Amino acid sequence: MLTKRIIPCLDIKDGRTVKGVNFVDLRDAGDPVALASAYAEQGADELVFLDISATQEQRKTFASLVKDIARHINIPFTVGGGISSVEDVAPLLEAGADKVSVNSSAVRNPQLINELSKAFGAQCIVLAIDARKIDNAWIVHTHGGKNPTDKKLFTWAKEGQDRGAGEILFTSMDHDGTKNGYAIDPLSKLHELLTIPVIASGGAGSMGHFADVFALAKADAALAASVFHFGEIQIPELKTFLKNHNIPVRL
C-alpha cells in the first residue's frame, strides 16, 4: 500500500515565510531555508513552496531561493507562483525543484497544462486549485484567492487530469488557516472522480484532522502550514499517531 505523505507548505512573500487565515491577515512565520531544513530533518515526505505574490522580478529572486533551499534538503519539493510558460519551469528545476505547481496561469490558459506535461512529464506538474463554496458550488478562485472564476472545482480538476497534470493540490479557502479540519466532502469526491493523487490543503489543526483526511477523504497527501511553522504539531509525533491509527506512513 502506498504511504500517505505529510507536506509542510511554505508560502513565500518578499523572501519570508508567511501564513494567514482564509488567505488574508498574513503574519511572518520565519526563514524559509531554516524551516525547510528543519522539516526535512523531522521526516516530512515533501515540501511545497509557493511564491504568493509572484512578479517577474520576485520570481528571479525566488529561483535563487529555490537553489538555496535545495542545498539544505534531501526530499522532493514543489515550487509554484508566477509560472505561466514552459520557459519559466526549466530554471526552477535546474535550481533543484522536483515539481512545479500552476494555478492562476492554468485557469487563464488551460493549454499550459498540456504544454508543461509534454515538456517535463505529468509527474512534474501539480495543478493547484483554490476554491470556496458559493451557493452550494465549489468555485475556483485565482490570484491568491482574490478573483472568483467561472470554473467549478470538480470539472476543473478532471480537466486538469485529462490535460496532463500529475497531481491535484486542492485548498479549501473556507477552511484555510481555521484549524477546524480539512474539507472532507469535496476531497472525498475528488478521490472518487480522479485517478491521480489528491493533496489536501486547508484546515489542519490537530493530529486527528490528518487521520480524518486520510481515512475518510482518502487523500493521498496532507499539506499544512501554521501548525508546523508555529510548533503546534511535530512531524515525528504526527507520523507515530497516524501509524497507531493504521494509516500507512513513512517513519
- pLDDT of 16: 66
Task: Give the SS3 label for residue 247.
Answer: coil
Question: Is 11 among the residues known to form the active site?
Answer: yes
Q: Where is average pLDDT lowest: 48-57, 99-108, 109-118, 219-228?
A: 48-57
Q: Which whole number is the average pLDDT over 127-131?
A: 97
Burial of residue 204 (number of CB atoms within 10 Å: 0-12, 13-18, 19+) = buried
pLDDT tens for 33-42 read 888 899 999 9
- In single-letter form, the type of residue at position 62 comes to F
State the cell numbers at 118. Answer: 509534454
Q: Catalytic: which of 130, 176, 212, 220?
A: 130
Domains along the chain with CATH numbers: 5-244 (3.20.20.70)
Q: Which of the following is catalytic: 11, 45, 176, 212?
A: 11
- pLDDT score for 178: 85
Give CA–CA dist 64/59, Å, rounded.
Answer: 9
- Residue 24: what are its φ and ψ, rounded to 5°? -135, 180
What's the rounded mean pLDDT across residues 224-238?
A: 92
For residue 144, name the pLDDT band (cuts at 50, 70, 90).
confident
Residue 25 annotated among the catalytic residues of the structure: no
pLDDT tens figures, 13-67: 776 666 554 444 455 556 788 888 999 999 999 999 887 665 334 444 478 888 9
